[in-house]
Amino acid sequence: MSSDFIHTEENGIKYLVHPKGSIFEGIKMRENTDDAFENAIKRGMKNPDDWMYMYSEKNKDYFKNYYTREYISYPQFDLKDKIKNLKKNRDAR
């Protein structure tokens, strides 16, 4: 990955963000794409070898099928995870 990326972290997930001026400006990608796949498989992804991770947006990970070009998304957090993150953020204050 290029050092031109902006490194950020949200809800414990590390992202690379395309910098201002890039044609992909603002698009976030997980630093560790394996985490995106693990999450998607946990949420029901079938045949993960048929999919490529593309980007993350609004607490969802987006994937594109190699063959059909179809996109799918999976939430990064379920309700239990969201409550845990809210509590963690409040405790950190």
| Chain segment 31-84, per-residue pLDDT in tens | 999 999 999 999 999 999 999 999 999 899 999 999 999 999 999 976 677 677
Closest CA to 61 of 39, 78, 46: 39
> What average pLDDT score do residues 13-40 get?
92
pLDDT score for 88 = 72
Asked if 39 and 54 count as a contact pair (C-beta separation under 8 A), the reply is: no
Q: Higher pLDDT residue, 64 or 3?
A: 64
Closest CA to 77 of 58, 52, 54: 58
Strands 60-65 and 71-75: what pairing? antiparallel
* Whole-Å CA distances, 31 to 51, 70, 83, 85, 90: 17, 23, 24, 20, 26
- Quickly count: other Cβ atoms within 10 Å of residue 55's Cβ: 20
Q: Higher pLDDT residue, 20 or 51?
A: 51
* Residue 27 Cα to chain centre, angstroms: 10
Distance CA 67, CA 79 (A): 32
